[in-house]
Structure 1
Amino acid sequence: MGVQYGFGRHVWDINPDHTATVIMYDYLTQTFGIAGGTLGRIAFIVFVVGLLGTKKAYRVILWVLVALQVVTNGMFIIILFVQCPGHASAIWSQDGKGKCWDVRVQAYYGYYQGSFNSATDLYLAVFSTYIFWNLNLKLQVKMGLVTLLGLGLFAMVASIIKTVQTRILAHADDDPTTATISLDRWLYIETYLVIITASIPCIRSLLRPFGRQTTGTGQSTYELGSPYAGRSGARSRRLTPTVPGKGMMRISDRNASADDISEWDGTDSDRVDEPAASKKSIHVYV
């Protein structure tokens, strides 16, 4: 809609009556971009909590990240629309009727918001690497799992570039209908990369037949199950761990994929009887 009214063209080349409308759509563009990236990161964090949050400390840190994502990015959206108190339309009408904050407030907070999102992407990649690298798995399995869960580094790079572009917010009045083009582009590149990289680890689960719980070799599999989700659903297999105070994950190296991480397993007597030749899994205590 913004492009139809002239977004991307110099302010002196479009109908003066459309200038305020173009700027308004630009603000909405930034709002949806910020919200999309935030929801994508939260979704991935929740995914990681269920997959790797086997220790209370890990779960606490990850849930704190969720809260900080909501607060940090939510505050930026609020700042976008309250920088002219009592006269919100003055943000895009620029009629001088409203007294607005210094434009550097929006720019400086944008630096913080972008830096925090970049740091979050880096932490999630490093956290996943740390967890899997310390497990007794084949190198190719480790590399596969680390790669799947570390793809957020691409989103981090886009976030850094977008953060650098935030400087334009401090002097966008020079040509408001073209000033934020690069910022908006990288904002949406970042958002889509967050969504894509957070979704890739789950692709195999979507491609498999619904309700399928065993492989062709008879091996039981649980698609990316939570290691502590035994209290929900009939598919849960949370049983008493063989080592007091520790939970046990059963990780298959059959296809070196993150979707073969199973839920809590129990003692040998509690496991499903399967042919020994068909099982290629290891038990890892965490």
Structure 2
Amino acid sequence: MASSLSEEDYNAGTSVLATAWALTAAAIIVMALRVVAKIKISNFNADDVVMIAALGFLIPGAACVTISVQAGLARNAVIRHDQEILNIKYYLVAQSLCVISCMIGRIAFIMYLRRLVPLQSKARIVLLILLGLQPLVNVVPVILIFAQCKDIRAVFDPTITDVYCMPVKIQMVYGYTQGAFNTTTDFYLAAFPVYSFWSLKLRLRIKIVLLCLLSMGLFAMVACIIKTVTLHSIDQPGDPTISQAQLLHWAFIEAGLVVITSSVPCLRPLFIAMAKNFSSSPRPTYELTPHAFGHSHNNTRSHVTSRTHTYIRGDANDGWGDGDSARQILEESRSGITKETTVTVQNEEMSA
């Protein structure tokens, strides 16, 4: 199949493949750290399971891109008809998996934020509404992709032209609606922590770190905007995998960033624990002289020994834990390390 867009040797499939697997690999690493962090503090919750599910859709999406690239994805070259069908089929499946991964990732982050908000807060209602709208808004475009023609074979085979298919404008209009909704959701989820948590009685440095971690979804919002702008490509003639290569490219960037940026706030307890373990010093033993206690007698010899018996870390509320409040999750340890010291004094009388 030769592309009608250009007679030059065009191959954007490799770039899309590299982007897909790079972001998928980064998401796997961040997710693994998230699981370790949550297990370490014994606070593995439902939002963690949902975020793992989001990653579970992103990985096969990257695998579908691999198959599509091998079949000629976004490449201006002559390929067999069966390769053309395989190429378009796995391209559309990969695009759909990205949409579902984004949707599930946002749901997981909304669930995470709801645990930080007081039960009586009206913000919990807003977050619940956004959570319910996510599947309603984001499942529809997946349905439109595979149900756009009465015969599904016409979706993958451009040579089948005697089957009714809905106008492309319908997909475009709904795509812009979906993009606007997801962009608004990302902006709200990023701005909501600033509005809600700025009044917390935390040190300024901790407050800034807290807000930066919870507002990283702005990166996913930018990717969503760019992906929405590229939706016009679905109305271009010729090989859809060439004209829509940038659409798939940004779909993976958005999906990967949703999983990564939504998981980064959960890693802070792990980094705090690593930093404390790295900076902690060995338990010291002190040898004190008799002058320290003011004893000075010719016939008396004193031995004073002081040694540390116990090091106690702060409890789950001092920043090591990951409970249901922003203070518990993101505040630094207030008590730090407590040292318990036992002092033993022994006097021995010397014989005359």
CA 275–33 in structure 1, closer or farther in 2 if over 3 Å, else same? closer
Aligned to 1:9: 75
Distance in 1 between residues matched to 2:190 and 2:152, nearest whole Å: 39
Query: In the alignment, is the contact (CA less than 8 A) between 2:73 and 2:241 conserved in 1?
Result: yes
Q: Deviations over 1:143-169 (max 9, x none)?
A: 111001000001101110011011111
Alignment of 1:122-271 (within 5 A): 122-171=187-236, 173-206=237-270, 208=273, 218-222=313-317, 223-227=321-325, 251=327, 258-260=329-331
Distance in 1 between residues matched to 2:225 and 2:135, nearest whole Å: 19
Distance in 2 between residues matched to 1:261 and 1:54, nearest whole Å: 24
Pairs aligned (count): 232
CA 183–51 in structure 1, closer or farther in 2 if over 3 Å, else same? same
Distance in 1 between residues matched to 2:94 and 2:106, nearest whole Å: 19
Structure 2 residue corresponding to 1:113, chosen from 178, 196, 212 = 178
Aligned to 1:212: none
Q: Deviations over 1:94-153 (max 9, x none)?
A: 211320000111111111111111111100011111011122322212111100100000
What runs of 5+ residues in structure 2 fail to find an aligned partner? 1-66, 275-279, 281-310, 339-352
Query: In the alignment, is the contact (CA less than 8 A) between 1:7 and 1:178 conserved in 2?
Result: yes
CA 53–190 in structure 1, closer or farther in 2 if over 3 Å, else same? farther
Distance in 2 between residues matched to 1:219 and 1:142, nearest whole Å: 20
Deviation, 1:275, is 7.8
Q: Is 1:27 the counterpart of 2:122 in the alignment?
A: no
Amino acid at match of 1:152: G
Query: In the alignment, is the contact (CA less than 8 A) between 1:225 and 1:261 conserved in 2?
Result: no
Distance in 2 between residues matched to 1:121 and 1:177, nearest whole Å: 28
Distance in 2 between residues matched to 1:119 and 1:24, nearest whole Å: 31
**RMSD in angstroms over aligned alpha carbons?**
2.6
Distance in 2 between residues matched to 1:97 and 1:2, nearest whole Å: 26
CA 195–169 in structure 1, closer or farther in 2 if over 3 Å, else same? same
Distance in 2 between residues matched to 1:157 and 1:67, nearest whole Å: 23
Query: In the alignment, is the contact (CA less than 8 A) between 2:98 and 2:255 conserved in 1?
Result: yes
Task: Please state whether the residue corresponding to 1:163 is helix, strand or coil.
Answer: helix
What runs of 5+ residues in structure 1 fail to find an aligned partner? 210-214, 228-248, 253-257, 263-273, 279-286
Structure of larger gyration radius: 2
Query: In the alignment, is the contact (CA less than 8 A) between 2:206 and 2:330 conserved in 1?
Result: no
Query: In the alignment, is the contact (CA less than 8 A) between 1:104 and 1:169 conserved in 2?
Result: no
Query: In the alignment, is the contact (CA less than 8 A) between 2:73 and 2:242 conserved in 1?
Result: yes
CA 259–134 in structure 1, closer or farther in 2 if over 3 Å, else same? closer
Distance in 2 between residues matched to 1:5 and 1:59, nearest whole Å: 47
Distance in 2 between residues matched to 1:276 and 1:177, nearest whole Å: 56
Deviation, 1:15, is 2.0
CA 277–177 in structure 1, closer or farther in 2 if over 3 Å, else same? closer
Q: Deviations over 1:183-225 (max 9, x none)?
A: 001000011011010110111345659xxxxx96542125321
Query: In the alignment, is the contact (CA less than 8 A) between 1:7 and 1:177 conserved in 2?
Result: yes
